[in-house]
Amino acid sequence: MKIAVLGGDGYCGWATALYLSAKGHDVAIVDNFIRRQWDYELSVQTLTPIRPLAERLRVWQELTGNVIELLVGDVTDYDFLASVIRGFEPEAVVHFAEQRSAPYSMIDRKHAVFTQINNVTGTLNLLFALRELQPDCHLVKLGTMGEYGTPNIDIEEGYITIEHKGRRDVLPFPKQPGSFYHLSKVHDSHNMMFACRIWGLRATDLNQGVVYGTVTDEVAFDEALINRFDYDEVFGTVLNRFCAQAVAGHALTVYGQGGQTRGFLDIRDTVRCIELACLNPADRGECRVYNQFTEQFSVIELAELVKAAASKLGLKAEIEHLSDPRVEKEQHYYNAHHSKLIDLGLSPHYLSDSLLDSLMNIAIRYRDRIDSSIFLPQVNWRNTSNERKTQTTVSAVPSFAATGS
């Protein structure tokens, strides 16, 4: 297939582009490198050293003979995006090109407004470009399990059957997002459903859980292809942070009681899910929703798992509870259904099998790059004027599209 990966220089996008290329698909990466700019803004760096994208693509071509086309530009610029769709003529578009950090969206008003405008505008531009230029193209859009929140009922895959006052209907599952970032994803989902209904587009909304892991078969070919390992409090994941903290001899910082429960999946399952969605497209006029994760863990369970893994490596890790800077339930019911991708053929990897190789050993390998000063939270959900030490301000950013989930 001809597949355009928007945000292909980011964490999920890079692994996906390589995987699809290795599988024989004709791949184009669309990006503008702003994910790298945010590291400068926040004065942080990924634990793993990331080469320039042109060098990464050159090494990939030398190793495999496969060419991945690079198209540099801004998805919030409709003319540019339309030129991509018109020129490349994709059969599927994988859309990772959004600002994907909840804490980043909660820093202050500017970051909240930027996140919403950037994410919603980019997706709307894509929907209009597909309608005008490639109406049969299948949109595979990265959503988030965070759209649902933590309801006291089972979370279905996108839709729920409701019986009310003697009548029955299938409706979108109620959304209770927990940040301005998650709200932007809800807006995306509604816009996609609307576009499919009125224009006959085809789309798959992948409500993804927290992704972990650095290594895929393709990334392992050469260190120049290595993927991101973000552990800071804005773009890093809790699991990455715990691993870096354990290696650095720092306490594992659990927010609140640690009962916050979410879905998780290995990066190797993310790329497989994307391919399964592309190979099994939605029908015209259909907006499917798949819950994309394989296991559920609470924060305290993750801390205990990392503590045990650290012990096997001769590292002593202690757990410390901090006041929760977020507005969230620290103890709650959580049971989300996730069978549709399994039905399509996904064979999951499990955290118990990859915690050491894909996380702890990577943290040990690059331990000299760990910056312990970025472990502790600075963004408070209750405070809309968080002060941060930055190299640039977000006001300089909106001329770029946020690319690279």
- CB of 247 closer than 8 Å to CB of 363: yes
Q: In the prediction, which pLDDT does 388 show?
A: 53
Cα separations in angstroms, 74 against 37, 198, 345: 14, 26, 34
Neighbours of 125 (CB within 10 A): 21
What is d(CA 176, CA 313) in angstroms, rounded to the nearest whole number?
40
Question: Which residues participate in catalysis according to the annotation?
Answer: 144, 181, 185
Burial of residue 328, with CB atoms counted within 10 A of its CB: 0-12 exposed, 13-18 middle, 19 or more buried: middle
Is the alpha carbon torsion for 52, 54, 55, 56 positive or negative? positive
Q: Are 234 and 101 in contact (CB under 8 A)?
A: yes
Q: How confident is the model at residue 383, as a pLDDT?
A: 82
Do residues 185 and 147 lie in contact, with contact meaning Cβ atoms separated by under 8 Å? yes
Q: Is 241 helix (H, G, I), strand (E, B) or coil?
A: helix
Q: What string of DSSP letters covers 328-359?
A: S-SS----B---HHHHHT-----HHHHHIIII
Q: Where are the beta strands (DSSP E) in 13-158?
A: 26-31, 69-72, 92-95, 138-144
Residue 343 CB coordination number (10 Å): 10
Residues forming a β-bridge with 319: 252
Reading the chain (405 residues) residue by residue, the pLDDT tens digits are: 999 999 999 999 999 999 999 999 999 999 999 999 999 999 999 999 999 999 999 999 999 999 999 999 999 999 999 999 999 999 999 999 999 999 999 999 999 999 999 999 999 999 999 999 999 999 999 999 999 999 999 999 999 999 999 999 999 999 999 999 999 999 999 999 999 999 999 999 999 999 999 999 999 999 999 999 999 999 999 999 999 999 999 999 999 999 999 999 999 999 999 999 999 999 999 999 999 999 999 999 999 999 999 999 999 999 999 999 999 999 999 999 999 999 999 999 999 998 998 899 999 999 999 999 999 999 999 986 665 544 444 443 333 333 344
Q: Which domains does the chain have, with CATH numbers?
A: 2-382 (3.40.50.720)
User: How far is residue 30's CA from residue 403's CA, in Å, rounded to a whole number?
Assistant: 8
CA–CA distance, 282 with 130 (Å, rounded to integer): 15
Q: Which residues pair with 206 in a beta bridge?
A: 142, 290
Which neighbouring-strand residues pair with 297?
262
Amino acid at 36: R
Beta partners for residue 256, in sequence order: none
The angle subtended at Cα 202 by Cα 196 and Cα 206, nearest 5°, is: 100
Q: What are 189's two structure tokens?
A: 């989902």
pTM to 2 decimal places: 0.95
Q: Which residues contact 98 (CB under 8 A, 6 or more apart)?
A: 7, 118, 119, 122, 123, 142, 184, 185, 188, 402, 403, 405
* Closest C-alpha among 405, 338, 355, 377 to residue 95: 405
Structure tokens at 351: 């955290």
Q: Are 296 and 263 in contact (CB under 8 A)?
A: yes
pLDDT of 367 reads: 98
Closest CA to 324 of 302, 307, 299: 299
Burial pattern 128-152, b for ≥16 Cβ within 10 A else e, equals: bbbeebbeebbbbbbbbbbbbbbbe
Handedness of CA 376, 380, 386, 390 (dihedral sign): positive
Q: Are 215 and 282 in contact (CB under 8 A)?
A: no
Report pLDDT for 387. Answer: 57
Contact assessment for residue 375 and residue 6, using Cβ atoms and an 8 Å cutoff: no
CA pair distance 75, 95, nearest whole angstrom? 10
Q: How far is CA 405 from CA 7, 94, 344, in A?
A: 7, 11, 24
